[in-house]
Amino acid sequence: MSAAPPASGPETGADLSALIVAIARDADRDAFARLFRHFAPRVKAFLMRGGLSANAAEELAQETLLAVWRKAAYFDPARAAASTWIFTIARNLSIDLKRRERYTGTVDAEALEEAADEASGETILMSAEREARVRAALARLSEEQATIVRLSFFQEKPHSQIAQELGIPLGTAKSRVRLALSRLRTLLEDLK
């Protein structure tokens, strides 16, 4: 029976998965505290980018991590990374919240108008075109640059963790992120 990884520096993907396993197996409160410290601010920022107010995002981030505590036994590290699993829970709770607000009438008329605008055919088409361009641009990046973009922006890993995972110096990781973004910007100039 393996324990949660020792706390030292930034958590790796494997460490985070091990923390969830420790929570499921042993109801390990220390593992949960570490997981909470790592994910609470990230989930809150993710939810705020999704349109929630700071207070609502904070409450939903706490609800997300409480769900992680309750559902830890359902986590399978072979199927998804800890971050993917947790952010999926957050996204689903956010969708549920928005549905509840819509049904209880707490969404004001302006928000409903914005939702209607977002769902227009033209908006959906433009969004699909933009997404296709971004995918095409990412495909044109070198494997090294695409990996850096995935780690930095899609997995939201700090530069120090990227450097550690790739086995490169921190300055090199920062340079590669900057160069990959520059190349991506060049490829997407006409996206706006």
Query: Virtual CA dihedral for 36, 7, 25, 35, nearest 10 degrees?
Result: 10
DSSP, collapsed to helix, strand or coil, labels residue 52 as coil
Domains of the chain: 9-106 (1.10.1740.10), 120-186 (1.10.10.10)
Among the ranges given (6-15, 56-65, 132-141), the one the predictor scored with the smallest mean pLDDT: 6-15
H or E stretch at 145: helix 143-149
Question: What is the DSSP-derived secondary structure letter of residue 155?
Answer: S
pTM tops 0.75, yes or no: no
pLDDT of 78 reads: 87
